[in-house]
Amino acid sequence: MPVLSARERAKLPTRSFAYIDSKGRKRLPIHDESHVRNALARFDQVAFESDEAREQARQRLIAAAKRYRIVPVGFFQGQLRMERRRGETGKPITRWPRGIVTFLMTDIEGSSRLLRALGHRYAPTLRSVRTIIRRAVGAAGGHEVDNRADESFAAFADAAAAVEAAIAIQRAFAARRWPRGAGVCVRIGLHRGRTTLTETGYVGIAVNTVARICDAGHGGQILLSDAACDALGRSPGITLRRLGAFRMAGLAGPAALLQVVVADLPDRFPRPRVARVKTAPR
């Protein structure tokens, strides 16, 4: 498919594009068969300004496909997957941050022990856990990506917002009274890295990395990577304690871990649950 030059794009009428944003930028050309097929493949990569704009572009693209007798089976399947995921998380996937993203992952410590201790009360307790996390993520401007069993996964465009959400989560857990006096707490991992957003969610080593960082922590603790630390900058009231370099399964090399320390939360924990890498003597 020939790539449109800026001059060629400018000459095409507005009807030759599926989407034109509020600044007049023309996106997804649909003036011939090859460009329609390309627009179908790239549709979910476009950051639309609103759900209404997305739906209008979708309708124009479908009409163009029909005009060229293209049956966009794969496109429809992708849209169905996206709508299903939107129903699971409450927000359209198209609004999630792209490119370099800060991820937050939580995991309930000792969930099997809690299940045995709480019995039938475990399910409502889990709902309360998810509500706390969801509210903190949303209040900080993050996006809930997934909930699986005792884990939660969220994405942020801004590293400081992700740390804000993590602190709010730990504060809420510390203040909450749980059924039967149970000690319900979560470990939290944060990492920032480049990723790819597809119709099924985020893909990339950054997702694996944040999962490993979360696994390395303890209940009540917030761990973050060097990459997340570098993007954080100065945050009043927050101290970052370097714990050292550690080897985590599935990662190419040792990774540095830091702990978020704030005055009103516990800050003493056992060493991370991964092998520390000894540094060579100077």
CATH number of 96-276: 3.30.70.1230
Report domain extents, the chain.
6-88, 96-276
Enumerate residues 6+ apart whose C-beta is below 8 A from 184.
Answer: 108, 114, 125, 129, 173, 176, 178
State how far the Cα of 222 lies from the Cα of 214, in Å rounded to an integer.
8
State how far the Cα of 67 lies from the Cα of 90, in Å rounded to an integer.
34
Instruction: Give the pLDDT confidence score for residue 280 in this predicted structure.
Output: 42
Per-residue pLDDT reduced to its tens digit, 64-100: 888 877 766 555 555 545 555 554 555 567 678 999 9
Q: How many helices (H) and strands (E) does the chain have?
A: 9, 11
Per-residue pLDDT reduced to its tens digit, 16-46: 888 888 888 888 888 888 888 888 888 877 8
Among 143, 138, 272, residue whose Cα is nearest residue 216 = 272
Chain position carrying tokens 């099997």: 112
Enumerate residues 6+ apart whose C-beta is below 8 A from 167.
Answer: 222, 238, 260, 262, 265
- pLDDT grade, residue 3 (50/70/90)? confident
Q: Strands, E, within the chain: which ranges?
A: 17-20, 26-29, 99-108, 143-148, 151-156, 186-198, 201-203, 222-225, 239-247, 255-261, 275-276
Position with higher pLDDT, 169 vs 237 = 169
